[in-house]
Amino acid sequence: MSTQAATETPTLHPARPARARGTFVSDTWVIARRGLIHMRRQPEALSDATIQPVMFVLLFAFVFGGAIAVPGGGSYKEFLMGGIFAQTIVFGCFGVALALSNDRNNGAIDRFHSLPISRASVLAGHAVANLIRAFLPIGFMTIAGFVVGWRIHSGVLDVLGAYGLMVVFSFAMIWIGVLLGSLVPTPEGVQGVAFVVIFPVTFIASTFVPTSTLPSVLKTIAEWNPTSSLANALRHLFENPGGVTPSSGAWPLQHPVAYTLIWAVGIVVVCAPLAVMQYQRSIKS
Partner 1 sequence: MTTNAIEAHGLVKTYGEKRALDGVDLAVARGAVCALLGPNGAGKTTAVRVLTTLTLPDAGTATVAGHDVVGDPVAVRRVLGLAAQDATVDGLLTGHENLTMIGELHHLGRKRAKERATVLLEQFTLTDASDKLAKEYSGGMRRRLDLAATLVAQPEVLFLDEPTTGLDPRARNDLWDVLDELVAGGATILLTTQYLEEADRLADDIVVVDHGRVIARGDARSLKRQVGGDQLRVVVADRADLDAVTAIVGRIAGHQPTVDVGARSVVAPAEGGTSAISALADALTEAEIRVEDLGLAQPTLDDVFLTLTGAPPEADDDAAAVPVSTISEEQR
Give the interface with partner 1 as residue ranges (CB under 8 A).
1-13, 15-16, 18-19, 23, 26-27, 30-31, 34, 37-38, 41-42, 106-108, 110-117, 284-285
Helices and strands, number each (H, E), in the chain: 14, 0
Q: Which is nearer to partner 1, 8 or 247 (CB)?
A: 8
Q: Give least dist CB 42 to partner 1, A.
A: 6
Q: Give least dist CB 31 to partner 1, A.
A: 8
Do the beta carbons of residue 154 and residue 82 sit within 8 Å?
A: no
Q: Give least dist CB 238 to partner 1, A.
A: 37
Alpha helix ranges (H) inside 50-92: 51-58, 76-91
Which residues 6+ apart lie within 8 Å of 170 measured at CB? Answer: 89, 92, 131, 134
Q: Which is nearer to partner 1, 84 or 122 (CB)?
A: 122
Q: Give least dist CB 11 to partner 1, A.
A: 5
**242 Rama sector, left if φ>0, alpha if ψ -120 to 50, beta otherwise:** left
Do the beta carbons of residue 260 and residue 233 sit within 8 Å?
A: yes
Q: Which is nearer to partner 1, 117 or 152 (CB)?
A: 117
Q: Give least dist CB 284 to partner 1, A.
A: 7
Q: Which is nearer to partner 1, 3 or 247 (CB)?
A: 3
Do the beta carbons of residue 35 and residue 102 sit within 8 Å?
A: no
Q: Which is nearer to partner 1, 106 or 213 (CB)?
A: 106
